[in-house]
Structure 1
Amino acid sequence: MGFSNLRIPKLCEFCEKPFEAKTVTTRFCSKLCSEKSIKRQKRLVQEVEAKQVLLEKSINKIAEIQTRPYISVGEAAILFGMSKDTIYRLIKSNRISAHNFGERLTRVCKSDLESMFTVVKIAPEKEKIEEKQVFEIGTCYTISEISAKYHADPGTVNSVIKRNKIPTKKVGSFVYAPKNLIDKIFDGK
């Protein structure tokens, strides 16, 4: 594999410091930033999965709880996505009203909690809308035009197109790719 003379000014996606990238696909200024970014992504995915599992387990209970005016501390924790300790702290500071009917029978007013906090809702998944690309002479580059404009090897251009799933159209021996998508990738936007 040959070396490239490209020097592309970019911002690190993790630490947001400017650096000069040697390839078009470089995203981080160092291996350390790359590893930290991977760890952050894994942690965020685990947190989202944990919240989703908790919501799936308690979705039936949430529907039943929403019909009652007074609920237990554990039910309030599930409904509002907070710990029991937080609810007990709010009761102790008289920010929410509560009634103690005996051991493990503390009930809190749901309307007090609703006025302080919002109910945890399950967000609907967003659908991705794909726009249809128009392959006309003025709106497309050939592979050789891309490699000449950005001083990149045609093999590198092909791999970038495949990696980013850019739609292409082959006419005879030429492969065309939309200018707007190519410019976004190679300009670092």
Structure 2
Amino acid sequence: MGFSNLRIPKLCEFCEKPFEAKKVTARFCSKYCSEKSGKRQKQLAKEMEARQTLLEKSVSKIADIQTRPYISVSEAVTLFGISRDTIHRLIKSKKIPAINLGERLTRVSKIDIEKMFTAVEMPDKSKEIPEKPNFEVGNCYTISEISSKFYADPGTVTNLIKRNKIPTKKVGSFVYVPKNLIDKIFDGK
């Protein structure tokens, strides 16, 4: 069998360093990288299998929990994805009524916890059409005019403009801000 002088520039799949491969099928720069890659693949497969078995256990447990009106704290953790400390804090602040049947036998009403997670309708902001800034003469304030009119510090006014994302226009050393947007903020709208 003949010897090949073929050198193919490649990147190692494990350490991502460039190397010259002697074969077209080479994937790693060394035996060390090859072994480490194999170990990583086995570890990822093991983790995926562990997640899958945990998910299967959780599905059967959740189905059982959903049929009962009162559940334990650990079952509430599984069902709602809340930490155990949060549930105990809610019980202590009396936001969730609980029944203590003995040591480690605290039961909470599933309906009361579900009420805490009811969907809150958020107003649709897409209906509001943002006003286009009007930078014409007479329709703008400067920072100093805003601070003198509303008795606010110029630094506070600048922070307010940034926080509310109000468009500005700089002409020379003056920063102009649309009157209508500033008036809305200081009127509390």
Per the TM superposition, whether the score is higher than 0.5 is no
Q: Please give the TM-score of this superposition, normalised by the length of structure 2.
A: 0.44
- Greater relative contact order, per chain length (Cα 8 Å cut-off, separation 6+): 1
Q: Please give the TM-score of this superposition, normalised by the length of structure 1.
A: 0.44
